[in-house]
Structure 1
Amino acid sequence: MLFAILFVAAFLCGALIYYFSRQWWWAVATPMLVFAVNALLDPGQQGALIFTLVFGETIVFFAALLGCYVVQTRSHRGEPEATTVDSSDAKQD
């Protein structure tokens, strides 16, 4: 359950950062850094620190990257229209 909440939080964080910055590496690195700092500073987590970092960072990486992918496929900023045809090109003989 905790990893599911982590996945959703990393997905939303990655999607929002990518939406505003359009830099996927920034959108992936920020949640990973926040998670790593949080895991290292939590005194109750010291017993399972390696487990938390190995599985948690992997989940955060893929969730944030998926957030970037979803934003990229859903937005149409900067893409040229593929259906427009110049009339001078269409009537060349």
Structure 2
Amino acid sequence: MNAELISALLALAAGVLAVRWWRHARRIAGALVGVVAVGAALVAIRNLPEPVVVATLLAALGVVAVVTAWPWLSLARRAGERTEADR
């Protein structure tokens, strides 16, 4: 792996953490980390071959979708457990 790919992956991971922080009390810190992470990812991605860029962005989009949907999935599972317990 080259340095550009590693820095892009680290920046995208920081962006995922920022998405998670945004949903909690650390809104300002999450927003700042997100802005810095997106900027770093864009700078790093400029130097990568196109297939690597597409794969990295798709992987990051999938991780962000899972991190964002996880609280909703947990709530739905708990609601289902409560319904079964009430019967």
TM-score interval w.r.t. the shorter chain? 0.3 to 0.5
| TM-score with structure 1 setting the length | 0.42
More helix, by proportion: 2
Rg larger for = 1
| TM-score with structure 2 setting the length | 0.44
Relative contact order, higher structure (CA 8 A, sep 6+): 1
